[in-house]
Structure 1
Amino acid sequence: MSEQPLPQSVPAPVGLDNCADEPIHIPGLVQPHGALLAFAPDGKLRAWSANVAELLGFAPVLGTPYDRLPLAPAVTEQLRACLVEGADSPTGIETQGNGNTFDCVVHGNGTRAIAEFEVRHVAADELAAFALKAHAAIERLRRQRSIEALLHHAVEQVRAITGFDRVMAYRFRHDDSGDVVAESRREDLKPFLGMRYPASDIPAQARRLYTINTLRLIADIGYTPVPVLGAAGEPPLDMSHSVLRSVSPIHVEYLQNMGVAASMSVSIVVNGKLWGLIACHHMAPLRVPYSVRMACDVIAQVLAAAVVSVDSHERMRLAEQAAGVRTRLIETLLHEDDVLAALEQHAEELAGYLAADALVFTQQNKLTAHGVDEELAAAIVGSLPAQGEEMLHRSGRADWPEGLRARLGPWVGLLALHFDPATAGWLLALRREQVETVRWAGKPDKLLKTGPLGHRLTPRGSFDEWVESVHDKAEPWDEPRRLVAEQLLGEMHRASMARHAETEKARMQLLAMLGHDLRDPLQSISMAATVLQHGAEPHQLGQRIERSSGRMQRLISQVLDMSRLDSGLGLSMRKIDVELSKMVEDLLDETRLAHPGTVYQADIAQGVHGCADPDRMAQVISNLLSNARHHGATGRPVLVSLKEEAGKAVLEVRNNGAPIAPELEAQLFNPFKRMALQSRTNRTGMGLGLYIAENVLKGHGGMVAYRYEAPHVVFRVEFPLQPD
């Protein structure tokens, strides 16, 4: 079988426009300071670098078993372990051959066992000194208690044990750009601390390799690559874990543009993701022994462990705080009739929980805004999808519908939780635009020019500081905050389902009661009609028919009002100038006539006029008088007062009675409260009166409230005499 160079991945015209697709893990080339041997699962040689004879002193023959090659026993044994036992992790071995001392690294790639031999140019005693320095450096790192201190000490120690001219620590951002957060450098070099490098500097496939092969050395940027040879037709060798793998020409050009002659990178991998990078630059070629590089890798692992520890502590603290907020909110939601009012009670806590600058709550076409203009809040709600995502995220102005962008002002960040799709219930967290001045390490745009690889898109030729002000972006919600938001959404979903189940149960009770209550007046009317047909005295029967039909009308009217409120339509209002004093007196006269057994004592100020819907306001007053009669102590009068106070009409209705229990007080204005459906003192009521009364008063810009002043239960109504 003939031998030939294995296929290479890099075509000549590769540029920044296609480097993201460059298969850099199969270059078919190695750096020349070492040699490579690759063996198939049967232990036979399948590929090798073209410099094996020069460095190792023997001519490789395709198909030779690894144990027939002139390799040291330690190398042979490690190859056996890799092939037979599946020991794929890189193992470093010191070995000699052809007058050279090598750092041999044996590892597997899933289909091949690979042995790489790096020529060592450092004496053993120097290497021992390196090892002592590395041990001391790691011990110093272990004593640090913050990520900032760890990164600062890491770059100092890596530079001390490797001798690089510049060592930087990158920390990657959510968009994969990286900030230089720590730096140790030769004094005459320009500082890069605080600069940001665009995400395009590390394409996706390079980021993957940085994650699985955490240390990378380019000893001499000006090297001439050595081809990897093998059987004709053999697929390219996967060199993802290789220490000698040749790098992309784009990356070489990038480093040359920076004036770098040698480089090393050590990955900081946290939870399987590239969190940061220790990047080392030297202005002349530099070889770093394998054992020293491994010490740098340990430093990176110490850093990663510290980051995990700090992150875990922060997540635990956030989870504990979030659990407390969720518990308090859900407890309120389960007991509060008005969902939006319940959310508003916890607005400040929720803003902290979600790290938001403003909040908007909406349900059934109602809306409350906390920290943002209500008109804008309504427009934002209008931009939300009616169906689909339960959690929606927008982090910049460009993420919003085009017609709304100009109106947003600073509110360009959004995290929307669709907690109750059945009632269009949304909780919106908003973040302001975060105007940021970015110090780029050179203008990050791609430039078309003639570079070493021809006329094409090429890496930046200048790394002078280039300052850019970034607008129209908000800080995106990070993973921990999104997690607590998902937990909150789940809890609110469950609370909404419980509320819907309770409401549905109450609806069924109400419908059953309505059917029962309508049966009595209908039967009374039917009996009266039958008697009339037989010539009975019509006067008394007429009164009975009138009372029964009036009761039916009241029941049906309440159900219709409830239906309008429940559907979000609101109550119809027809406001005119009304003499409220006369209205209250007339209603009292009617009530005294209808219920002569109850004493009503009145204190009505004369001449109180106001703008109101007379029918709706009569509905409110009649309900309060009826409640006082049903629930008041027998033989005790009902006290009614009306006065004008600070431009408002103030009506109070009092009856003797015990205070309402706190758990029932919380449900007073709920349309589906069990205490109303089970009341022994008002078997003909459905518990809708106070619910409708509260909404009538809201429509007048007023309110109705309960309090207890021993021995009286007091309901107070107030609303402005003239609308705003």
Structure 2
Amino acid sequence: MLLKIDFTNCDREPIHIPGKIQSHGFLIVIDQDFIVRYHSENLSDYLKGLPNVILGQPVSSLQPLIDRNEPPEYISNLIVLGKTNGFQQTNPFNAHIGSKTFHLIISSFDKYYALEFEPSESDTGNDIQRQVGRSISEMLTDRNLQKILNNTVIQVKKVIGYDRVMVYRFAEDGHGEVVAEAHNPELESWLGLHYPESDIPKQARELYKLNHTRLIADVNAEPANVLTEADNETPFDMSCLQLRAVSPIHIQYLKNMGVASSFSISLFYKNELWGLIACHSYSPMFIDYRSRESAKLIGKVLSSSLEFKQDEEDQQLHDKFKSAVDELTKLMLKDNSIEDALTGHQITLLDAVSATGAVLVFENQIFKLGRVPNDVQLTGLLHWLKTNITDSFYYTSKLPSAYHDAAFFKDVASGIMVTTLSREMGEYVIWFKAEQLQTVTWAGNPEKTGKIESDGTITLSPRHSFEAWSQTVTGTSLKWSNEEVKSVVRLKSEIMYAINQKAGAIRMLNEKLKQAYEELDTFSFTISHDLKNPLSSIKSFAQILMRDPDLKPQTLKVLERINNGANRMNNMINEVLDYSRIGRSDLVLNEVDVKPIIIDHVNELQLVYDVQPGAVIIGDTPKIQGDAVMLSQVFANIISNAVKYSAKASPQKVLIEGKDTGSEVVYTITDNGLGIDIKHLPRIFELFNRMDNVGDIEGSGVGLAIVKRIIEKHKGKIWVDSELGMGSTFHIAFPKQ
């Protein structure tokens, strides 16, 4: 019975533990005592006179076969040298085996050292190391990014001599596109072709982040098995090995294209995989380790150029949108009518993003700008938003896929970005992007999963044919950029500030507010009484049991976890109670000198988190009007987050400074830590909201919600600028009384 192949399972193929290596070299894995624990079965092909299996032997016994001119402890000395200076700095070492010279690449992981032996000469015939510097100069002769990519493939092809060299860029959904290409004259062009995500699945892309170059020397060569003791059932993780064997699916894929050898160089943007320099040869081609390391430099230089060009474009957009939001902020504070400030001047909502239309739904009125759906269509869209979108911020470039009725007005609204002003009152700001018809040309039908051959076998390939196959994409707009998201997040903050300043008490229903406060009082009492009492009992009993000297270590560990869990829950209850009380607490306004407050918090954090001297810099600290106790809580939360989430940065840097603008005092707290994913920015100040990337860093998700309530009680503003992996800057603006 033939099985149907579903290529979605490519994402689950364990390509990091293939149990085999490419056979142009051989592998020996030793433990901390320099005893051989794994080795490739082709060892005796290179080291003549060895038995087929040498597991359990000291590596020093192989030294005469590896290099007769070196002492038995030669390899152990190399490992000591690598551990001292870093294997990345010391690799490769030269090893003389018979009449041939090999590169020895040593890597360390877990409790093992991997010794990989490869030929020291490439098949290219070119001195890649010497040519790389000249090629990089040629790559960067133009300021235009596309021309830089075009120059890159030409130069890389000259250097390594492969038949086809491409720059392959990954899209957000994982599929790829050839955006630059150089090839032999007899080959057809693949420029502009798209390839489905399954061609380079997720786990393969993760390995490209670890190994910045990847060589498949000969797709037709049989891989060599990696041997270990019969009782060792632990798979050998080859993620970082140069010789790691190739997935059979990928090998068949390359064969179907007629490719005999491939070589790739990873390209990055902001530490994320942007794409690859993908090289194909139609005959076997080996590139030695030193040459591959030199080729990495090309990837690093091109990655830096990509980042610079993209940052330059982002900065231009940022400045444009910031200027528009600044102007709208002035208009809202100046005009009596918020809706007129946003829609009735030369600068409008449309200028805050790159949209083709916008709608403001405010105080039972709808204000339209640019190209928008008609009234009936808007009514249906607003009902869908209120019924289906629970987040306060939502955007998509494929609205008809989420809201089917949008297909009737996709020409004006295939993309939508929505920020909710008041869900209860049905108040929104909505931006639209028109449909952008696209013709995507795939390298073969991406939905084809395999081909049944005449003998009943199935050819493993996402498709057997790579002839261009075009697909027209409808119901899609241009994507919303990160800068547009940031702009809307900031604009919403300014709109809400203006609303609170001008309409706060009027927009509130006093009776409903009174009822809410009564319910909050009941809730606070329930937490403080019905939850804290049982917690105290749990903690007390756990502490009593921990005093028993006959407890087993495992039991004591469990009791400690119970005690710590009770402490964490008690802290969370206290924070929730603090959050509930802020709205009802009276402000005690005074002129507050925040400098000693900040210094006290910093000194305490330096002790708790072992912060290096000079890591936290305190700049100007102008005085502000406010409640000293509440303001201390604000700075404690923000500074604590900055220190905690930048703890792993090297060097760690936290900057705290204030500026008096005349009408307000603005404090900024900047760190170079984990940063915040753009998708989380709109909800950063919501209760119990924590980011995906915080790991085991302590926190309850309540602190920033408390900070926001305190700032709003002071009639101030708080917002954040952040990018994942690039740190965060929190801005707190206090009005001058």
Match of 1:61 among 54, 64, 69: 54
Residue in structure 1 matching 2:14, options 12, 23, 32: 23
Larger Rg: 1
Which residue among 415, 418, 441 is the counterpart of 1:416? 418
Give the secondary-structure state (helix, strand or coil) at the position aligned to 1:181: strand
Distance in 1 separating the partners of 2:190 and 2:39: 40
Q: Which residue of 2 aligns with 1:388?
A: 390
Residue in structure 2 matching 1:153, options 151, 154, 158: 151
Q: Is 1:334 equivalent to 2:333 in the alignment?
A: yes
Amino acid at match of 1:285: P
Q: How big is the shift at 1:219? A: 0.9
Contact 1:62 1:231 in 2 (8 A): yes
Contact 1:94 1:101 in 2 (8 A): yes
CA separation of 1:463 and 1:504: change in aligned 2, threshold 3 A: closer
Q: Is the 8 A contact 2:27 2:115 kept in 1?
A: yes
Deviations 1:354-409 (A, max 9, x none): 11111111023211111224413333222212672111122224433334543544
**Counterpart of 1:157 in 2: which secondary structure?**
helix
Q: Is the 8 A contact 2:25 2:117 kept in 1?
A: yes
TM-score, structure 1 normalization: 0.63
After the TM superposition, which residues 663-682 of structure 1 pair with which residues of structure 2 at under 5 Å, given as runs? none
Offset at residue 143 of structure 1 (A):
3.9
Pick from 189, 199, 202 the counterpart of residue 204 of structure 1: 202
- Whether the 8 Å contact between 2:410 and 2:435 is mirrored in structure 1 is no
- Name the structure 1 match of 2:436: 434
Contact residue 41 and residue 83 of structure 1 kept, 8 A: no
**Structure 1 residue 266, shift from structure 2 partner:** 1.1
Deviation sequence 1:397-428 (CA, Å, 0-9, x none): 44333345435444121111113446432111
Residue pair 1:39, 1:114 contacting (<8 A) in 2 also: yes
Change (3 A) 1:325 1:37: same
Asked if 2 retains the 8 angstrom alpha-carbon contact of 1:13 and 1:453, the reply is no
Equivalent residues in 2 for 1:424-463 (5 A)?
A: 424-450=426-452, 454-455=457-458, 458-463=461-466
The answer to whether the 8 A contact 2:128-2:294 is kept is no
Give the partner amino acid of 2:143.
Answer: R
CA contact (8 A) 2:342 2:348 kept: no
For residues 427-576 of structure 1, the aligned pairs below 5 Å read 427-450=429-452, 454-455=457-458, 458-501=461-504, 503=506
The residue type equivalent to 1:96 in the other structure is H
Q: Check the 8 A contact 2:361/2:367 in 1, yes or no.
A: yes
1:249 aligns with 2:251: no
Task: State the 1:234 CA deviation.
Answer: 3.5
Structure 1: segments with no counterpart, 5+ residues: 1-11, 509-724
Q: Residues of 1 paired with 2:199 and 2:178: CA distance?
A: 13
The alpha-carbon deviation at position 26 of structure 1 amounts to: 0.5
For residues 29 and 194 of structure 1, the distance between their equivalents in structure 2, rounded to whole angstroms, comes to: 35
Evaluate the alpha carbon distance shift between residue 285 and residue 433 of structure 1 in structure 2; reply closer, same or farther with a 3 A threshold.
Answer: same
- Determine helix, strand or coil for the equivalent of 2:264: strand
1:536-570 Cα offsets, whole Å, 9 max, x none, are xxxxxxxxxxxxxxxxxxxxxxxxxxxxxxxxxxx
Query: What is the CA-CA distance between 1:44 and the residue it aligns to?
Result: 3.0
Counterpart code for 2:29: A
Query: Does the 8 A contact of 2:343 with 2:349 survive in 1?
Result: no
Shift of 1:155: 0.9
Separation (CA, whole Å) in 1 of partners of 2:201 and 2:465: 19
Offset at residue 198 of structure 1 (A): 1.8
Residue in structure 2 matched with residue 117 of structure 1 by the alignment: 117
Question: What SS class does the counterpart of residue 79 from structure 2 fall into?
Answer: helix
Show the 5 A alignment for 1:246-285: 246-285=245-284
* Mean CA deviation greater in 418-427 or 310-319: 418-427
Matches of 1:342 and 1:334, distance apart in 2:
9
Deviation at 1:230, TM superposition (A): 1.2
- Counterparts of 1:167 and 1:85 in 2: how far apart (Å)? 35
Query: Is the CA contact (8 Å cut-off) linking 1:75 and 1:93 kept in structure 2?
Result: no
**Percent identity between the aligned chains?**
29
Give CA deviations for 1:501-536 in whole Å, capped at 9, x if unaligned.
46479999xxxxxxxxxxxxxxxxxxxxxxxxxxxx
Residue pair 2:327, 2:347 contacting (<8 A) in 1 also? no
Match of 1:323 in 2: 322
- Per the TM alignment, residue 251 of structure 1 is displaced from its structure 2 partner at its CA by 0.6
Counterpart of 1:39 in structure 2 is: 30
Q: How does 1:62-81 map to 2 (within 5 A)?
A: 62-66=55-59, 69-70=62-63, 76-81=76-81
* Partners of 1:16 and 1:446 within 8 A in 2: no
Given residue 20 of structure 1, which amino acid in structure 2 is its aligned partner? D
Relative to 1, partners in 2 of residues 1:85 and 1:183: Cα closer, same or farther, differing over 3 Å?
Answer: closer
Q: Is 2:11–2:202's contact at 8 Å kept on the other side of the alignment?
A: yes
**Contact preservation (8 Å) 2:103, 2:119:** yes
TM-score by length of 2: 0.62
1:194 is the counterpart of 2:192: yes
SS at match of 1:342: helix
TM-superposed CA distance for 1:111, in Å, is 4.3
SS in 1 for 2:7: coil
* Aligned residues of 1:177 and 1:199 also touching (Cα < 8 A): yes
Aligned to 2:103: 103
CA separation in 2, counterparts of 1:138 and 1:499?
A: 58
The residue type paired with residue 94 of structure 1 is N
SS at match of 1:107: strand
Q: Secondary structure at the match of 2:177?
A: strand
Alpha-carbon distance in 2 for matches of 1:69, 1:84: 24
SS of structure 2 residue aligned to 1:438: strand
Distance 1:453 1:167 in 2: 35
TM-superposed deviation, 1:476: 2.1
The question of whether the paired residues in 2 share the 8 Å contact of 1:434 and 1:472 is answered with: yes
Q: In structure 1, what is the Cα distance between the partners aligned to 2:245 and 2:435?
A: 43
Q: CA deviation at 1:214?
A: 1.5
Q: Distance in 1 between matches of 2:59 and 2:501?
A: 69
CA apart distance, 1:245? 0.8
For residue 40 of structure 1, report the CA deviation from its aligned partner. Answer: 2.8
* 2:102 aligned partner, one-letter code: F
Letter in 1 for 2:431: A
1:671 maps to which residue? none
CA contact (8 A) 1:89 1:107 kept: no
Relative distance call for 1:364 and 1:257 in structure 2 (3 A) is same
- 2:42 equivalent in structure 1: 51
Distance 2:4 2:228 in 1: 25
Task: Say which SS state the counterpart of residue 92 (structure 2) adopts.
Answer: strand
Confirm or deny: 8 A CA contact 1:82 1:108 kept in the other structure.
no
| Residue type at the aligned position of 2:467 | D
Report the equivalent of 2:573: none
> Post-superposition shift, 1:36?
1.1
Alpha-carbon displacement from aligned partner over 1:585-605 (angstroms, at most 9, x marks no partner): xxxxxxxxxxxxxxxxxxxxx
How far has the Cα of 1:97 moved from its partner? 1.5
C-alpha contact (below 8 Å) 1:106/1:114 kept by paired residues: yes
Q: Determine helix, strand or coil for the equivalent of 2:386.
A: coil
**Which amino acid in the other structure matches residue 452 of structure 2?**
T
Question: Aligned partners of 1:21 and 1:214: how far apart in 2?
Answer: 22
Q: Could you tell me how far 1:139 is from its partner in structure 2?
A: 2.6
Displacement of 1:273 in angstroms is: 1.4
**Residues in 1 aligned to 2:423 and 2:6: alpha-carbon distance in whole angstroms:** 49
SS of 1:118 mapped into structure 2:
strand
Q: Is the alpha carbon distance of 1:311 and 1:327 closer, same or farther for their aligned partners in structure 2, counting shifts above 3 Å? A: same
Q: 1:81 to 1:507 in 2, by over 3 A?
A: same
* Amino acid in the other structure paired with 2:358: L
Corresponding residue of 1:378: 379
Please name the residue that 1:536 is paired with.
none
Residues 1:382 and 1:505: Cα distance change in structure 2 (over 3 Å): closer
User: Comparing 18-27 with 140-149, which one deviates more in the overlay?
Assistant: 140-149
**Shift of the alpha carbon at 1:33?**
0.1
Between the two proteins, the alignment pairs up a number of residues equal to: 495
Residue 129 (structure 2) pairs with residue 135 (structure 1):
no
